[in-house]
Amino acid sequence: MNDWFTIEKIDDSTYVISEYGHWEQMHSFLLLGKTHGLLIDTGLGIGNIKTVIDKITDLPILVIVTHVHWDHIGSLREFENIAVHELDVNWLIKGLPIPLAMIKKSVVEKNFYKEAPKEFDIEAYSVYTGVPTRILQDNDIIDIGFRKIQVIHTPGHSPGHICLWDEERRYLFTGDLIYKGTLYAFYPSTDPHQFYESVKRIHDISNIRRILPSHFDLNIESDFIQNVKDAFELLYNNNGLKQGSGCFEFKDFRIHI
C-alpha cells in the first residue's frame, strides 16, 4: 500500500483510508457491498487514493461526496461514477468560489507529518471540476448489493452537505458536521443556523453504534453529538449564531462562527 495512506478495517466490508501525514488528517471510507463498492470522499489529492482502492477490491466504485470542498474531492478525477447532493452540484461543475492560490496555500499551510508521495507537486495541484453521474437528494437510498446507505441532507457547513447512515450496521458517516476539531460555520457559504438544525437532526437518530467523521480522531463517544447539540443551543440562546461572532471553545471541539 501507498505509505501516504493508513488503511484500517472497521469490519470485514468497511475500511477507513486516512491521511494522517497532513494537518487535516482526512478520512475517506470504503464500503463494500455485493455488487459495488461505495467510496465516501476521495481525500486531499496529495496521494492517489484509487491505487489503494484497487488493492482492496475489484468491485465497480461509486463515489459519494459528503460535500464539495477541496479536501474531500482531491482524487475525484480518478473515478467515473460520482454522486453529490443537488445543492453542491454547481461547485462541482463550475469550481469552488475560492482562488486556486488560496487552496494551494491551505494544502501546504503546515508542515506535513510524513513525507508526501514523490509524485505530489503543489505547482501542478488543481481542484477537480466535472459533471456528476448521479445527483442526490435527502433520504435517497444507495443500494450497493445487500447493503443500503441512506443520504441525510445536513446543510450548514456547505449547502449540499450530507451525512450517510448505514442502518444495518448503525454507522453514521458525519463528514464535516461532527468531529473532534473546529466545526466551521463562518465562511460566506456556511450557515450557522442550518448547521445547528442539522446537528439536531442527526441527534434524533437512535442506536448509533459508530460515529465516523471525516477528520481527526475516529474514536468518538456515543454522547458526542449531544455535546455538540448542547453547544449550538447555548450559542443560539445567547444570540451567538451570527457569522463573525468568533471561535468558541468546548470540550474536544470548537465552533467557529
Q: Which of 9-13, 41-45, 201-205, 219-223 has the lowest mean pLDDT?
A: 219-223
Question: What is the percent of the chain where pLDDT is above 90?
Answer: 97
The side-by-side arrangement of strands in the sheet containing 141-143 is 141-143, 148-153, 162-166, 171-175, 210-213
pLDDT of 76 reads 98
3-state helix, strand, coil in the chain (%, to 5): 25, 25, 50
Cell numbers for 210, please give them: 459508530
Mean pLDDT across the stretch 213-221? 97
Q: Which of these, 39, 103, 114, 105, lies nearest to 71 by C-alpha position?
A: 103
pLDDT of 191 reads 98
pLDDT band of residue 255 (cuts 50, 70, 90) is very high
Q: What is the pLDDT of residues 117-139, one digit of tens each?
A: 999 999 999 999 999 999 999 99
Cell numbers for 127, please give them: 481542484
Write down the mean pLDDT value for the chain: 97
Element at 61 (helix H, strand E): strand 61-64
Mean pLDDT across the stretch 182-194? 97
Cell numbers for 138, please give them: 435527502
pLDDT band of residue 7 (cuts 50, 70, 90) is very high
pLDDT of 110 reads 87
pLDDT at residue 111 above 90? no
Cell numbers for 28, please give them: 475517506
pLDDT band of residue 171 (cuts 50, 70, 90) is very high
Mean pLDDT across the stretch 34-49? 98
pLDDT at residue 252 above 80? yes
For residue 217, the SS3 value is coil
What pTM, to 2 d.p., does this model score? 0.97
pLDDT of 1 reads 42
pLDDT of 239 reads 96
The domain limits of the chain are 6-178+208-219
CA 152 to chain centre: 13
pLDDT band of residue 65 (cuts 50, 70, 90) is very high
Cell numbers for 112, please give them: 506535513
CB 18 within 8 A of CB 8: yes
Triad 223, 188, 250: Cα angle to 5° = 25
Bridge partners of 63, per DSSP, are 39, 82
Is the Cα dihedral 60, 10, 151, 95 positive or negative?
negative
- Name the fold adopted by 6-178+208-219: Metallo-beta-lactamase; Chain A (3.60.15)
Bridge partners of 30, per DSSP, are 15, 39
Specify the DSSP class assigned to residue 110: S
Q: Determine the Cα–Cα distance for residues 30 and 60; give it in Å rounded to an integer.
A: 12
